[in-house]
Structure 1
Amino acid sequence: MTKLGVNRREFMSWMSRSGVALAAAGGLWPALAGSAGADTVQVTVLRGATLIDATGAAPCPDSTVVLVADRIVAIGGAGLAAPAGARIIDLRGKYLVPGFWDMHTHLMQLRTIVPKSHIVYGVTGVREMWGLPESHQARRDFEAGTALGPRMVIGSAIIDGPASFYGRGMLIVRTEAEARAAVRAEHAKGAEFVKVYQMLTPELLTAIADEAEKLGLRIAGHLADFVPVDAALVLRQKSYEHMFGFLFSTSREEAEYRRKIAELPFDPAASYPWFRAVRELERQAGDSFSPAKAVALARKMRERDGWLSPTLRVLHMVTSPKETFAGDERMKYLPPFYKEYWANGAAGWAPVTPEQIARQREFYERQLRLVGILHKAGVGVIGGTDCGNPYCFPGSGLHDELERMVAAGLSPMAALQTVTRDAARHVGLASEVGTVSVGKKADLVVLDADPLASIANTRRIHSVVSRGRVFGPADRVRLLAEIERAALEFQPPTTAARSAAVVMPGSCC
C-alpha cells in the first residue's frame, strides 16, 4: 500500500486533540522536518497488534502505534483515531516488538548479502566487532538511505599481542607504546569502542585501557587468557565475549589453573596450540565450579558495569560434532564456497570420539548454566551471534541465539530484552532504540505468534519496520529471493586472496 500524505496543519491539530502521550521535541520535530513534501508528513499507523514494548510491562492488546518518518510519535489503544490520510496497517492477531540488535556481528562487507539478511529477519541494529573500512562505508550508505541495512555501532580493528592465535588482518602490539598508538589510530578512524583479544598481557591491556579512557572509548572483546575477569573489570573492560575465562574465574582451583597457564610452552610464532591447550584447561576447570565464586563474580560485574556477551550459538558449534549443522537450509543464502569453508572451520574444533563428544557436551552445558546463574544474579547479558563463524548465520542466527538464551534459564521476556532494551543500554542508545516508546526510532518487528509463549515465535516474522520503512510479507519474500540470487552470483576470491574483508576464521572472533 502506498503511503499517503497527511497535511501538516491537520496533523498538528490531530496531535493537540489526541489525548495520548506524544513525542517530545527531540523525537517528533526531526521526524516532521525530515518528511517528504513541503506541506505533508508521511504517517503510518500500526493498528490492532498486541504490543510487547520490552520494558518488562505486561503486553498491551489491540494497540495503536503511530509513526512519522522514522520516529514513533504516539502509542495508544484501539480508540486512538488515526490522522486523515495516514497509511493504516491492520495487525490484528499479531504481536509488535522492538527491532532486534545483534550485539556481535561480522561480515557486513558482503554488501549484497549480509545487510539485507539482517533486516529481513528483524535485526535492525548491530554491534560490528571488527571495524574494517568496509564496515564504516556500509554504515554511511545505510544512514544516507542509498543502501538497505541496520543501524551500526562499530568497534576498532582487533587489537592483540604480543602474538595472536589468529593474526590475519589484526593489530598486533608488542609494547605499551604500540598499544597506545593503536588505540589512538583506531579512534581517529571512527571506532566507537576498542576491541581487545585473547593474548594481551596485563601490561598491554593496562596501556590500552588507559588510552581508551583518555579518548572516551569503551573496551569490549575477548577476556585475555593472561588476565582474570576481576582484573579486566578493574581496567574497565565492559563486555566479555564467548565466555572465555569465566570457568577459570568460577573454579575452586583457579590459582592452580592460573599456574598451569603460566607454565604452558608458548611460541609467539605458532601460538594456536597454546590457545587450544588453554581451552582444554578451561574445560577441566569446570569440574571444580564454585557457586560461591560465581556469586562473587556477579557482584563484581554489577559493581563495575561488566556485561556478558556469551554468543551461545558459536559455543554450541565449537563443542558439537562437525555434521551437526552442515545440512542447514539457510546455506543457500550464503555464497556456495561457504559450504566447504564452514565445514572445514567446524571440523577444526569438532569432537570426534564418543568420549570427546560427551566431554564437549558437558563443557557447553556448564557454560550455558553459568550464563543463567550470572543473569539471575543481576549481570547484564546481551545477545549476539558472532555471525561469520561456521553456521552462525547473519540475521536468522539471532533467533538461534534467543533459543539458546532460554535454554540457559532466561525467561522469554528476558531473552528478548538481551537483544532490545539491554542491547540499547549497553551501547548507550537507550534514548533512541530498544523499546517501543514514544520519541524513539521506528525500528519494529511484527510477529505472527506470541514470543512470550515461546521464544521460537520470534522466527515467525510477519513484517519488519526499519528506519520507519515497512517491509511486509511480500517485501520479505522479495528480499530473501534477492539474497539467494546474490549469494549464487557472488564471485569468491582465490584462496590466496581471501582476507578478513571476505571470510572469517573458523573460531570465535
Structure 2
Amino acid sequence: MKQLLFALAPILLAFAPPALAAPKQGDVIIRHVSIVDVEAAKTIAEQAVVLKGEDIVAVGSDSAIAKDWRADRIIEGEGRYLIPGLWDMHVHFGGGPELIEENRALLPLYVANGITTIRDASGDLPDQVLAWRGEIAGGKLFGPRLLTSGAKIEGIAPVWKGTIEVGSEADVDAALDRLKNRDKVDFVKITDSTLKPELFLYALRRAKALGLRTSGHIPMALTVDQAVDAGISSIEHLDYAYNAGAKDEAAIAADFAAKRIDRAEANRRLDAGFDRDTAMAAYRRFAAKGVFVTPTLNGSRIIAYLDRDDHSTDERLAYIGPKLRKTYDWRIERAAKADAAAIAARHKQIEDVAAILPMLAEAGVPIIAGTDAGFLNSFNYPGFGLHDEIELFVEKGLTPAQALASATRAGPAWFGQLDRYGAILPGMAADLVLLTKNPLEDIAATRAIDTVVLRGVVQDRAALDKMLADTRAKVAAWNAETAAR
C-alpha cells in the first residue's frame, strides 16, 4: 500500500489545488486613487499603482492590487487624482558664468511644481547645462530630468550669446557634427538674429537627415511654410504660427528679404493680412507634416500688460536670485518706452495671436506647454509659470483635457517617448503627480499638489515645501549680500 501511495504521490500533487501565491513586492503603492487617463480625457476611480525602482510595475483596481502586492511604503490616494509628471518644454538657463549658482537654484522649483522633465531651449550656459543633464541622470544633482539643445545655431555676430556661429554650409555641417556626436544633444535649436535664411533652411534639412529634432525662430525673410517643408520639428512661440495665417506672407517675406520694408512694417502687414481660412490651411499642413507648436503665451502676455501689472509685489520674486532679477530689466525698460498707442497695439497683438490657439487644436496641431522661463524673461517664474501657461490655454479656448495633455503627453510625443512617459501604465516611468483636485474639471488643479514622484522617489508635501523654503533662504542670503555691497 505504501509503495502504491509513493507511486501515486506525484500524480496527486499535480491535481492538488495550488497554494496561494506569495504577494509580489514593490517599493511604493498608491492606493484608492483616481487615475487621470490624459489620452482618453477621463478618470478611473478606486485604482492602485505599484512602483518599483524607477518604473510603474502594476496598475489596477485597488482590491486586486491589495491582494497581489506588498510594499514598504503605502500612499493613501483616496479623494486624490494621479497624473503623469508635468513637462515644461521651453526653459532657459543663462546670464553668464556669474549666474550659475542662481540658475542651479531654480532646479528644485520645477520639482516642487510637479514638473519632472524640462527641455532647455538654449541660453548662454550650454556647457554647464550639458553637465547638469549628466549629473541629474547620474543622481549627483537634484532636479527634473533635463533634455537640452546645447548651444543654439546662429549666424555670425548674433544678438544671443552661447551660440555656434555659422556663415556657410560647411559651418552648419561642423555645428551639427559637434552637437550630435560630441555634445549628444537631445535636439537642435536654431535662431534667426543674424543667420542667413538659406542657411536656416539648410540647417533644418541637414539636422533632419541626421535624425535630429529641431526647434527654432523662423527668419522674417522666409515663410513659415518654407521652414515646415525644410523639416522643422517644433515652432517656438505662437506669433510665428500666427504669421502663417497672412494671405500675402510670401510677398511680405520677399519684401523684407529685399530690404524694401523693415521688421515693423512686415509685422504690420502680417497682422493686417491675417485670414482664418489661410491660417487653417497652414495649420492643417503643420499637422500633416508632424510639426508641433510651443506657444510660450504667458511670457508674451506678461510683457504686453506690464502697464497694468508691474509685478513688483509678486510673492514669487522671493525664489529668483538678484542677478537673475536684474536680467529682467532689459524687457521691462523696452516696454516702459512705449507710448499709449504702442501699448494699445501690444495689447491687441497678444489677444490676436492668442486667438489662434483653438484653431491649432482644431487643425490637429500638437500644442506643447512651455514657459520660456529663465533669465531675461521678466516675471515668468520657473516651475510656477507652467501652471500659468496651461491656465491661459484654457482661458483662450482649449479644454482642460487639451491643456493637461499639452503638459503631460505633447513633450513625450515630440521626443518619441510615449512608450515611457505621458501615461500611468505598467512599464512607464515612475514620474507622477498626486493632486487633491481633478484637473479635467479645473486646470488650476495642477497647482493642488499633494505628492510628486520623481524617478520613483516620493517627495511628499513636506519635502516639496522644504524645497521651496530652501530656495527662498538661498535667495534671501544673496539679497543680503547684494544689499551689503
- TM class, shorter-chain normalised? 0.7 to 0.9
The equivalent residue for 1:380 is: 366
Q: Report 1:219-238 matches (<5 A).
A: 219-238=214-233
Distance 1:294 1:444 in 2: 37
Unaligned runs of 5+ in 1: 1-9, 16-40, 266-273, 495-509
Letter in 1 for 2:178: A
Kept in 1, the 8 Å contact 2:217–2:236? The answer is yes
Distance 1:259 1:483 in 2: 49
Structure 1 position 14 matched with structure 2 position 23: yes
Give identity over the alignment, percent.
30
Closer/same/farther in 2, CA of residues 460 and 255 from structure 1, 3 Å limit: same
SS at match of 2:444: helix
The equivalent residue for 1:451 is: 439
Closer/same/farther in 2, CA of residues 77 and 351 from structure 1, 3 Å limit: farther
Deviations 1:165-223, CA, capped at 9 Å, x for gaps? x2322222122221221111222222121110024333202331343234321211112
Distance 1:216 1:147 in 2: 29
Structure 1 position 302 matched with structure 2 position 323: no
Structure 1 position 358 matched with structure 2 position 344: yes
Give TM-score, length-normalised by structure 1: 0.82
Deviation, 1:431, is 1.0
Structure 1 position 207 matched with structure 2 position 216: no
Q: 1:392 aligns with which of 380, 401, 410?
A: 380
**Between Structure 1 and Structure 2, whose CA radius of gyration is higher?**
2
RMSD: 2.5
Deviation, 1:163, is 5.0
SS at match of 2:30: strand
Closer/same/farther in 2, CA of residues 294 and 461 from structure 1, 3 Å limit: same
Letter in 1 for 2:197: P
Closer/same/farther in 2, CA of residues 372 and 459 from structure 1, 3 Å limit: same
Q: 2:42 aligns with which of 58, 76, 79?
A: 58
Give TM-score, length-normalised by structure 2: 0.86
Distance 1:393 1:179 in 2: 34
Structure 1 position 285 matched with structure 2 position 231: no
The equivalent residue for 2:133 is: 139
Distance 2:256 2:445 in 1: 43
Distance 1:161 1:11 in 2: 69
Give the structure with the higher percent helix. 2
Deviation, 1:318, is 2.9
Structure 1 position 474 matched with structure 2 position 474: no
Deviations 1:85-120, CA, capped at 9 Å, x for gaps? 531111211111110000001128545411101101
Deviation, 1:255, is 3.9
Distance 2:20 2:340 in 1: 67
Deviation, 1:409, is 1.1
Distance 1:221 1:351 in 2: 28
Distance 2:103 2:216 in 1: 24
Distance 2:479 2:255 in 1: 46
Deviation, 1:340, is 3.8
Q: 1:487 aligns with which of 458, 475, 484?
A: 475
Q: Report 1:310-349 matches (<5 A).
A: 310-321=295-306, 323-349=309-335
Kept in 2, the 8 Å contact 1:223–1:244? The answer is no
Q: 2:166 aligns with which of 173, 191, 216?
A: 173
The equivalent residue for 2:88 is: 102
Greater shift after overlay, 243-252 or 342-351?
342-351
SS at match of 1:79: helix
Q: 1:49 aligns with which of 33, 39, 56?
A: 33
SS at match of 2:378: coil
Closer/same/farther in 2, CA of residues 456 and 141 from structure 1, 3 Å limit: same
Distance 1:253 1:45 in 2: 58
The equivalent residue for 2:5 is: none
Deviations 1:340-393, CA, capped at 9 Å, x for gaps? 431443232457433222211110011111122111110111010011121111
Letter in 2 for 1:341: T
Greater shift after overlay, 84-93 or 441-450?
84-93
Closer/same/farther in 2, CA of residues 121 and 292 from structure 1, 3 Å limit: same
SS at match of 2:253: helix
Distance 1:129 1:171 in 2: 14
Structure 1 position 152 matched with structure 2 position 140: no
Structure 1 position 113 matched with structure 2 position 105: yes
SS at match of 1:80: helix
Letter in 2 for 1:325: H
Deviation, 1:143, is 1.3
Distance 1:222 1:81 in 2: 48
Deviations 1:255-310, CA, capped at 9 Å, x for gaps? 44224423448xxxxxxxx9xx5256325522321111111101211121111011
Closer/same/farther in 2, CA of residues 397 and 57 from structure 1, 3 Å limit: closer
Deviations 1:467-508, CA, capped at 9 Å, x for gaps? 1111111111111111112223449999xxxxxxxxxxxxxx
Kept in 1, the 8 Å contact 2:400–2:442? The answer is yes
The equivalent residue for 2:12 is: none
Unaligned runs of 5+ in 2: 1-18, 95-99
Kept in 1, the 8 Å contact 2:408–2:422? The answer is yes
Distance 1:219 1:350 in 2: 34
Distance 2:389 2:155 in 1: 30
Distance 2:264 2:444 in 1: 31
Distance 1:279 1:306 in 2: 27
Closer/same/farther in 2, CA of residues 244 and 196 from structure 1, 3 Å limit: farther
SS at match of 1:431: coil
The equivalent residue for 2:243 is: 248
Deviations 1:303-339, CA, capped at 9 Å, x for gaps? 2111101101122123222544332210100112334
Structure 1 position 405 matched with structure 2 position 400: no
Letter in 2 for 1:52: V
Closer/same/farther in 2, CA of residues 250 and 492 from structure 1, 3 Å limit: farther
